[in-house]
Amino acid sequence: TTSPSTSRLKLLTTSAAAAHPCLPKPPVFVSPSWTARLDAGRTRLLRRLQSTARGPGPVYLLKAFLPWLLPEVERAVVLDFDLLCVQPIASVWGEFGRFSSLHVMGAARDIASSKLYPNSEFGVNGGVQLLHLGRMRSGPYEAAIETIARTRTMGYLVDQTLYTALSDLHPRMRFHLSCRFNRQLNRHFALPAEAYVCAEGCAIVHGNQPAWKHAIRSASGVFRRLPPYLRDAFRNCKMDPN
C-alpha cells in the first residue's frame, strides 16, 4: 500500500518462494498513471470513490481496482510500507489456501474497529491484504463497490472503509485474516493492553502510527521500544533468525 509520502503501491504478485519483503527482491510498484488501463466505466467509478476521499486517500483506492490494473495476475499480497516481517512472508501467502470459493479478499480486523467503525461488525485494517484478483474481476465484487460508491463516504482511511463496507454488505466475500499477520501498534485511541494480544502468534508487525514508522523502518529495537504495559502483549513476536 502507500504511505503519505509516496504515491505508489507495493505488491507481492509472484509466488511465495520468490517474494519476501524483508529481502532485497524487487516488488511490483503500481503508479497512479496506470489508471489509463481502466475502461471508461471503471474510471468513472474510481473517480466517484476518490471524490469523497481525504488527504492521501485517493491513491489508496487503486488497491480496490487492482483486478483491472493487473489483469494478468490472479492473486496478490498488498503490503503497507510500515511493516516488519518477523516470520517468512510465505506464511501469509499460504492463507490463500484457506479461502472458500466465495472469498475475494482477506484482511485482519483493525484493533480500533469500535472507534473507527462503530456501526460495523468487522472493521478492516488495510495494512496486509490478500486479494484474489481473479474472483474480484467477477460481477458481484464490482457491483458491490458500485453500491458502496453511492452510499458511503471514503474519508481518510479509504480502502479500509471500502473493504469494511464490503464486509458489511457481503461478509462471505471477506476472509478473516489472523491477527498474527497484522500485529498493529496504533496507540491513537488509548486502547487497553488486551486489545494488542494475539494468541495465534506474530508474523508481521504493523507500525500504523507515525511514532512507530521510523522504528519499523530501522527494524532493530522495535520491541525494546514498546511501553511496559504492551510488552506482554507482544511477547510472542520473535525475529526469525533466517
Q: What is the DSSP string of the chain?
A: ---TT---EEEE-S-GGG--TTSS---EEE-GGGGGGS-HHHHHHHHHHHTTB-TTHHHHGGGGGHHHHSTT-S-EEEE-SSEEESS-THHHHGGGGG--TT--EEEEEPTTHHHH-TT-SSPEEEEEEEE-HHHHTSHHHHHHHHHHHHH---BTTTHHHHHHHHHHH-GGGEEE--GGG-EE---TT---GGGG--TT--SEEE--SHHHHHHHHH-TTTGGGS-HHHHGGGTT------
Instruction: Check whether 91 has a pLDDT greater than 50.
Output: yes
pLDDT score for 1 = 37
**188 or 27: which leads in pLDDT:** 188
Q: Tell which wins on pLDDT, 1 or 126.
A: 126
Q: List beta partners, residue 175.
A: 106
Cα 91 from Cα 83, distance rounded (Å): 15
Residues 6+ apart with CB under 8 A from 35: 43, 46, 62, 65, 69
Instruction: Reply yes or no on whether the pLDDT at 166 is more than 90.
Output: yes
- Whether residue 241 is predicted with pLDDT greater than 90 in this model: the reply is no
Higher pLDDT, 73 or 16: 73
Give this prediction's pTM: 0.85
pLDDT band at 28 (very low <50, low <70, confident <90, very high): low
* Residue 30 confidence (pLDDT) above 60: yes
Q: Where is pLDDT greater, at 41 or 6?
A: 41
- Rounded Cα distance, 162 and 64, in Å: 8
Percent pLDDT > 70 in the chain is 84
Query: Over the chain, what is the mean pLDDT?
Result: 85
> Which pLDDT does position 22 carry in this prediction?
46
Q: Which residue has the cell 521510523?
A: 214
Of 6-20, 125-139, 177-191, the range with the lowest mean pLDDT is 6-20
- pLDDT, position 23: 45
Is residue 80 very low, low, confident or very high in pLDDT (cuts 50, 70, 90)?
confident
Contact partners, residue 57, CB within 8 Å, separation at least 6: 50, 154, 155, 156, 157, 158
Q: Which range (70-74, 152-156, 215-219, 238-242) has the least confidence? A: 238-242
Mean pLDDT for the stretch of residues 19-46: 73
> Residue 144 corresponds to which cell in the numbers above?
458491490
Whether residue 174 contacts residue 124, with contact meaning beta carbons closer than 8 Å, is answered with yes
Distance CA 184, CA 30 (A): 25
Is pLDDT of 178 > 90?
yes
Closest of 218, 177, 226 to residue 201, by C-alpha: 177
pLDDT score, position 29: 67
| pLDDT over 90 (residue 96) | yes
- pLDDT number for residue 15: 38
At 57 the pLDDT is: 83
Cα angle, residue 149 at apex, residues 6 and 164 outer, rounded to 5°: 70
